[in-house]
Amino acid sequence: MNNRNRPAQLRTEDTSSPYFLHPSDNPGTILVPQPLTGSNYATWSRSFTTALLAKNKLVFVDGSILLPARDDLLYQPWIRCNSMVISWLRNSLSPQISSSIMYLDDAYAIWFDLKERFSIGDSARIYQLKQQLMSLSQGSSDVNTYFTNLRIVWDEFKSSQPI
């Protein structure tokens, strides 16, 4: 079967396929500006999810595409893309957290592990955010600065609430 007759998901050069890797994609790429340190899980997760969506690779961490059977035509492309996503994940973690997932071979398993460990609301941080919200005042700031500061604290507070 020539490549044109393959279904779209099997054509790894099709840019709309989750199996497509751009020539500039490499294991050393850093997708988010701040590594996951633990306390910043909500913002890190959001940033990393956005980056994966842009690269059409979110399906490897959300469980939408699981490891195909060895005899499946998608087995090798899946291994290649999964490995790339794992590299991107490792590059976006603090060294200690990265060490803790070093022997997990599935991007979905890593994502699930990180979510399970770090998405639980940090009660001390939630308390800090509540205090910031209660004490935030416009003072000498202009309305835009005040609203921006309020929005930053509010969004973090909202995202740190248990799901």
Structural domain that includes position 147: 123-159
Overall domain count for the chain: 2
pLDDT in tens, 68-108: 999 999 999 999 999 999 999 999 999 999 999 999 999 99
Q: Does residue 154 form part of some domain?
A: yes
Contact 110, 89 (CB under 8 A): yes
Q: Does residue 5 form part of some domain?
A: no
Tell whether 34 and 100 lie within a shared domain: yes
Q: Please check the confidence at residue 5 and state whether its pLDDT lies above 70.
A: no
Tell whether 93 and 142 lie within a shared domain: no
> How buried is 13 (Cβ within 10 angstroms: 0-12 exposed, 13-18 middle, 19+ buried)?
exposed
Tell whether 109 and 79 lie within a shared domain: yes
- State the maximum Cα–Cα separation within the chain, in Å, rounded to a whole number: 70
Q: Which residues fall within 8 angstroms of residue 153, CB to CB, at 6 or more apart?
A: 129, 132, 133, 136
Tell whether 36 and 65 lie within a shared domain: yes
Q: Does residue 142 form part of some domain?
A: yes
pTM of the model as a whole? 0.73
pLDDT value at residue 31: 95
Average pLDDT of span 126-138 = 85
Q: Does residue 130 form part of some domain?
A: yes
